Amino acid sequence: MRSAARVVVVGGGVVGASVLYHLTKAGWKDVMLIERDELTCGSTWHAAGGMHTVNGDPNVARLQQYTINLYREIEQISGQSCGVHLTGGIMLAGTRERLDWLKMAQARGRYLGMELEMLTVDEAARRFPLLDKRHFVGAMFDPVEGHVDPYGVTHAYAKSAQIAGAEVVRHTRVVDLKPRSDGSWDVITDHGNVHAEHVVNAGGLWAREVGRMVGLELPILAMEHQYLITEEVPQIAGLPEQLHCIDFEGELYLREERDGMLIGTYERAGVPWSPAETPWDFAQSLLPNDLDRIAPSLEVAFEHFPALGEVGVRKVVNGPFTFAPDGNPLIGPIKGLRNFWVACGVMAGFSQGGGVGLALSQWMVEGDPGSDIWAMDVARYGDWATLAYTNAKVRENYSRRFRIRFPNEELPAARPLRTTPIYDRLAEAHAVFGEYCGLEHPLWFAPTEADAREDVTFRRSNAHAHVAEECRAVREQVGLLETSNYGKIEVSGPGTEAWLSRVMANRVPKVGRIALTPMLNERGKLIGDFTMCRLAADRVLLIGTLAAETYYLRWFERHMPPSGVHVRACAMEHVGLSVAGPASRALLQSLVRDDLSTAAFPFLTFRRVDIGMIPALVGRISFTGELGYEIWVSPDYQRALYDLLSEAGAKHGLKPFGGRALNAMRIEKGFGNWAREFRPIYGPCEAGLGRFVALEKGDFLGRSAAMEERASGGALRLVSFAVETADADAIGDEPIWHDGRVVGWVTSGAYGHRVGRSLALGYIPAAAGSASQGFEIEIIGERRPAERLAACAYDPSGAHMRQ
């Protein structure tokens, strides 16, 4: 074992081996992998090896496509077979909703270049003769699905890396990790130490324990998972290899294994394994079978695929593997730890392992993952994702693995966890709550307690009429919105202005003013959007996305000067309420001594104001497009503020509104949101934020790329569409057609109640010019005519919010 290496990868499962290979491919050859036992001995060796391209997040789907295409490459380099069986796969729908879901997945696949095909039940039965047609209403076929040999894949990665110069050390356990002051690490093993510039935690089932060596509690939990392999199934004897099959209603997956079938299930009564600590003596081990637990799923399997009930069981496998609360991997660098990286929580190692290795290696070598991996970024979790929260969410996610998550569906586990002081007041007003970063926030308000629940659907729900009323109140009178679920970061110190001017693309506003600003990476792509509120010469409050708080802080840490600037997350120190609508000024004016006229308190003012007895920070800004004010107070004042505004608002027609109405109104205004319109694959001009990039102010991060983008105009355009729909609006990720070709994708959609039209925001090529006709947006399998709007749908001049 060498005593020094540029990188030590801890863990030789499929993920660690992929990271090792990709590091060598990216040019770092002085790398090593340390495995405590044999390669694959964690969750990898007993996996069913299934692989598929379909994923709810298009960017993850792209990395899954990459993974599957990689197997030929590593087979060629290593000479090790990956045992690839590219059988193709069939996904079966037993309900109309599931068929709708498949149509939406097929549509999304169009702009990813996936050739997914909808099938009738008869066609499905021809391709997968084991099914009983009576239980299904349709299906989708994916040619890029199948299974691999987990041992072969892991060894093919490892051998390919070794050929390029990497070292693979087996039977050596990393027992501790000690940072040095220069950011490098002493990797302490039971067979001597290694000095490494970088460490990657690819510890799989033990990733939590490896994290704890450096004081990190990763939100990961292992679940027991069972599959069985039947004896020979006579009905398929002599036929070509059966397709990979997912039966959503049965919550089952199936594939051929020799002449029998492998049947796996994500049972509802899933059981966590080693919830607090993973035993170190577990290697190449299985767990005791518990067929009773999966008996209900097996009964469905025998009903849906009768031939399987007629044959015996050859083998049962029960093994653990890990999940993050949302089921997506956790990858990337960790805030507060230099040169420490994670690649864990990968629940589909054979679909995702290659993409995870590619993204992480590029991040380490180039400083950027090279693609949009927000859905997998470890920074999407904050302090709220504790061990117990993770336990509740992972169990929920596991039990729902094959269930539909409707776009308006809120899941119940781990709730309520974080609440603001007005939570009970809002509940009394019949708020229907959503959860975001563990925090409860109102989505919409029902007229009575009995009405305060929402039908889950791909179409318009029972909330539609109530959201319409909320939008009407904001348009005609005044609405009250809780805004506590925004991220807030305070920047202070003598270097505040100079530093912010370097990390943000816009100019830092004067004291008492607000400026909107994109934040760009070195490639000139969007990695954040903020309102910068200047409280003092040396103090600025940044307001942005709560879910991205750790992501922002990690970026700031990387670009922090040695002194003069202090950065601090303070989201819950400033809880918020916003009043919006033409009567918002009169309402607020009735409670404050300051003059709120436009002359004295113009658009984009930010100032300390006393509202009644309550000290507050007030910004004149609007995400609804109406005249409006955002009010920030410390939590101890929030109830008093809510009561005061509610009481004084009665004579102005004040009505509470929630996130659904806000979303509809911001789409009417063409205002983007992080993770939807703003992601690291778009430049500011493409996203319509070009006017907030102050190229003239001097150097800042991403400036040269932003200059190039301004000169070229960028390749894409974020545009607004009005869509002719019936009872379903776009929700995001639908393909945009133009003249019979798929040219782009939707990022958000909603019914615009103020304009009385169904709307969508989406990206199309800049080369599409200004054409407004000939567009269609595919909503639940139907191509709906769409008009591209020349400007946003509501008040394009911005007169309402500036009045």
Name the residue nearer to ligand FAD (CB basis): 14 or 504: 14
Residue 657 backbone phi and psi in degrees, to 5: -135, 165
H or E element, residue 404: none
By CB under 6 A, which span of 61-69, 202-210, 465-473, 708-716 interacts with ligand FAD?
202-210
Cα distances from 701 to residues 267, 319, 506, 573, in angstroms, run 48, 47, 11, 29
- Beta strand spans in 521-605 (E): 526-536, 539-545, 566-569, 575-580
Would you give the binding string for ligand FAD spanning residues 267-306, x where CB under 6 A is met?
Answer: ----------------------------------------
Q: Judge contact between 228 and 35, C-beta under 8 A.
A: no
Q: What is the Cα–Cα distance from 275 to 614, expressed in whole angstroms?
A: 45
Name the residue nearer to ligand FAD (CB basis): 46 or 108: 46
Residue 191 backbone phi and psi in degrees, to 5: -130, 35
C-alpha closest to that of 23 among 38, 13, 33, 37: 33
Exposed, middle or buried: residue 22 (CB in 10 Å: 0-12, 13-18, 19+)?
buried
As measured in angstroms, the least distance from the Cβ of 80 to ligand FAD is 17
How many whole angstroms from its chain centre is CA 41? 30
As measured in angstroms, the least distance from the Cβ of 307 to ligand FAD is 22
How many whole angstroms from its chain centre is CA 513? 32
Name the residue nearer to ligand FAD (CB basis): 322 or 517: 322
Report residue 252 as tokens: 């089952």
- Site for ligand FAD contains 632 (CB under 6 A): no
By CB under 6 A, which span of 54-62, 98-106, 119-127, 204-212 interacts with ligand FAD?
204-212
- Site for ligand FAD contains 50 (CB under 6 A): yes
- Site for ligand FAD contains 204 (CB under 6 A): yes
Residue 549 backbone phi and psi in degrees, to 5: -60, -50
- Residue 572: count of CB within 10 angstroms of its CB: 15
Q: How many residues does the chain have?
A: 803
By CB under 6 A, which span of 316-324, 330-338, 471-479, 561-569 interacts with ligand FAD?
316-324
User: Using the rule CB under 6 A, which residue among 9, 20, 23, 49 binds ligand FAD?
Assistant: 49
Kindly give the residue spans of alpha helices, DSSP state H, lying in 149-254. 150-163, 207-212
H or E element, residue 391: helix 387-399
Q: What is the Cα–Cα distance from 131 to 500, expressed in whole angstroms?
A: 61
Single-letter amino acid, residue 354: G
Q: Find residue 139's DSSP bridge partners.
A: 92, 119
As measured in angstroms, the least distance from the Cβ of 356 to ligand FAD is 8
As measured in angstroms, the least distance from the Cβ of 154 to ligand FAD is 8
As measured in angstroms, the least distance from the Cβ of 48 to ligand FAD is 3
- Site for ligand FAD contains 759 (CB under 6 A): no
By CB under 6 A, which span of 77-85, 86-94, 317-325, 464-472 interacts with ligand FAD?
317-325
- Site for ligand FAD contains 351 (CB under 6 A): yes
- Site for ligand FAD contains 319 (CB under 6 A): yes
- Residue 253: count of CB within 10 angstroms of its CB: 23
Which residues have C-beta within 8 Å of that of residue 212, sequence separation ≥ 6? none
Name the residue nearer to ligand FAD (CB basis): 271 or 317: 317
- Site for ligand FAD contains 460 (CB under 6 A): no
Q: What is the Cα–Cα distance from 420 to 485, expressed in whole angstroms?
A: 10
User: Using the rule CB under 6 A, which residue among 13, 382, 656, 684 binds ligand FAD?
Assistant: 13
User: Using the rule CB under 6 A, which residue among 6, 30, 37, 468 binds ligand FAD?
Assistant: 37
Name the residue nearer to ligand FAD (CB basis): 50 or 421: 50
By CB under 6 A, which span of 42-50, 551-559, 712-720, 772-780 interacts with ligand FAD?
42-50
As measured in angstroms, the least distance from the Cβ of 168 to ligand FAD is 11
Would you give the binding string for ligand FAD spanning residues 205-234, x where CB under 6 A is met?
Answer: xx---x--------------x-x-------
Q: Judge contact between 521 and 556, C-beta under 8 A.
A: no
Q: What is the Cα–Cα distance from 102 to 141, expressed in whole angstroms?
A: 10
Task: Kindly give the interhelix angle for 659-668 and 464-476, rounded to the nearest 10 degrees.
Answer: 60
User: Using the rule CB under 6 A, which residue among 8, 261, 301, 346 binds ligand FAD?
Assistant: 346
As measured in angstroms, the least distance from the Cβ of 436 to ligand FAD is 27
Q: Find residue 775's DSSP bridge partners.
A: 738, 786
- Residue 770: count of CB within 10 angstroms of its CB: 8
By CB under 6 A, which span of 291-299, 339-347, 488-496, 515-523 interacts with ligand FAD?
339-347
Would you give the binding string for ligand FAD spanning residues 174-193, x where CB under 6 A is met?
Answer: x-------------------
User: Using the rule CB under 6 A, which residue among 26, 348, 553, 694 binds ligand FAD?
Assistant: 348
- Site for ligand FAD contains 173 (CB under 6 A): yes
Exposed, middle or buried: residue 418 (CB in 10 Å: 0-12, 13-18, 19+)?
middle
Name the residue nearer to ligand FAD (CB basis): 137 or 188: 188
Tell me the torsion sign for CA atoms 550, 552, 553, 554.
positive
Name the residue nearer to ligand FAD (CB basis): 185 or 406: 185
Number of residues counted as binding ligand FAD (CB under 6 A): 42
As measured in angstroms, the least distance from the Cβ of 283 to ligand FAD is 6
By CB under 6 A, which span of 43-51, 331-339, 518-526, 621-629 interacts with ligand FAD?
43-51
Which residues have C-beta within 8 Å of that of residue 325, sequence separation ≥ 6? 219, 381, 385, 389, 390, 393, 394, 397
Q: Find residue 777's DSSP bridge partners.
A: 736, 784
C-alpha closest to that of 274 among 285, 260, 262: 285
- Site for ligand FAD contains 317 (CB under 6 A): yes
User: Using the rule CB under 6 A, which residue among 5, 42, 434, 720 binds ligand FAD?
Assistant: 42
- Site for ligand FAD contains 321 (CB under 6 A): yes
Would you give the binding string for ligand FAD spanning residues 120-159, x where CB under 6 A is met?
Answer: ----------------------------------------
As measured in angstroms, the least distance from the Cβ of 662 to ligand FAD is 38
Q: Could you give the count of Cα atoms lying within 13 Å of 625 in the half-sphere of its Cβ? A: 26
Task: By CB under 6 A, name the binding residues for ligand FAD.
Answer: 10-16, 34-37, 41-44, 46-51, 173-174, 202-206, 210, 225, 227, 317, 319-321, 344, 346-351
